[in-house]
Structure 1
Amino acid sequence: MAAFSQLYDLHVRILFNYGLKLTLDKELLKDCIHDIFVKLYVKKDELGTIDNLKSYLFISLKNKLCDELRRRMYMSDTAVEEVNAISSMDVEEDYVEEEQQKNDFSLVKHLLGQLSPRQREALTLYYIEERKYEDICEIMDMNYQSVRNLMHRGLTKLRALVS
């Protein structure tokens, strides 16, 4: 059980960060992460050998979130105020920083919203989660060249939108 707790502690943060790219509903995300670890623990004997645990967890989380979102028919659009935490004593500085973060967040959200869901996922996995192409191929169930093409088209579109 201690080894499983260490496994959970090692992966929970990166799974949470990845999940935030798919949904902004933090409670749903926490529940899904918890569910995949419970399933992993309960069915450990049935699962057999897992060659790449991190990829398995990413794929499991993505599938679980998709299932839950489909089931709830829920589209997350959390307000920016809920994402940004206010924790400084200098109110004016905080206000300026918060406004800048809102603007940056809105711009990034808008730009990423212009991409297809697959482009957004591939770019998030590569640039934010720092995943290798091989991992992205496995997570997205695509071949290597298709992932490269998808990322190239996504980056080209982002460059065009920014300029």
Structure 2
Amino acid sequence: MKNHYFQMDDRALWSELRSGSLIALEVIYRRYYSLLLNYGMKCTPDDDMVRDCIQELFVKLAKSSNLSDTEYPRSYLLKSLRNMINDKSTSARSQVECFSFNDEIFSDIMDDDSFEKIFGNSDEDLRKKKALVQALSQLTSQQKHILYLRYIKGLSHKEVAEAMDMHVQSSMNLLSRSVSKLREILATHSIMCITFLQWMQIILK
């Protein structure tokens, strides 16, 4: 019986959860705990806070008697966690960090092993890596955020919009501007933007 739940897609699981299924809740928890933990750590360096918020989020889901429907449960969870972390932040600096998504947002794809999968380790390759790091540092918070969700975490356009609490067209426009900005910056270093986007997508596999 339980194995049946592991075969369900997100929408079906969410429907079961809304009907009170704790098995569905457990499957969702197992499916997205790592994603939520990674995402939460991009909002705040407080590991304990992130873990506590994830636990609290799922306790609330378990106790909710009128859980709203959503087409994109993954995005719903990400947005809920981000809001919860922000609510729990006690200092102004912490609240800003929850939305700032600094350069460490890309730390899981900027390590040497990941880089060498795409570029190698010659002097020219190291120049490209330095240029990519510099390019990322020039993007705005929202630009980094949307690139992270779309290309690193692989969310669809609709999921990105839901997670960022935006209209789909607005999120697509933001993504387009972000890629254009990245392309503009990288062009000064003779690096194609598509190289970076391919890099992120390959690391996802």
In the alignment, the residues of structure 2 paired with residue 52 and residue 10 of structure 1 have an alpha-carbon distance, to the nearest angstrom, of: 14
1:47 is paired with a residue of what secondary structure?
coil
Amino acid at match of 2:82: K
Equivalent residue, structure 2, for 1:32: 53
User: 1:21 aligned to 2:45?
Assistant: no
Q: Structure 2: 5+ residue runs without aligned partners?
A: 1-21, 98-103, 109-128, 190-205
What TM-score does the superposition give when structure 2 sets the normalisation length? 0.56
User: 1:143 aligned to 2:164?
Assistant: no
Post-superposition, which runs of at least 4 consecutive aligned residues in structure 1 deviate over 6 A? none
In the alignment, the residues of structure 1 paired with residue 32 and residue 161 of structure 2 have an alpha-carbon distance, to the nearest angstrom, of: 20
Count, aligned residues: 142
Amino acid at match of 2:168: Y
Relative contact order (C-alpha < 8 Å, sep 6+): which is higher? 1
Amino acid at match of 2:171: V
Equivalent residue, structure 1, for 2:125: none
What TM-score does the superposition give when structure 1 sets the normalisation length? 0.68
The alignment yields a C-alpha RMSD, in angstroms, of: 3.5
In the alignment, the residues of structure 1 paired with residue 84 and residue 91 of structure 2 have an alpha-carbon distance, to the nearest angstrom, of: 12
Task: Pick from 137, 143, 147 the counterpart of residue 119 of structure 1.
Answer: 143
Q: Structure 1: 5+ residue runs without aligned partners?
A: 85-103
User: 1:7 aligned to 2:7?
Assistant: no
Percent identical: 34
Alpha-carbon deviations, 1:82-122, whole Å to 9, x = none? x99xxxxxxxxxxxxxxxxxxx79x74x6444222221111
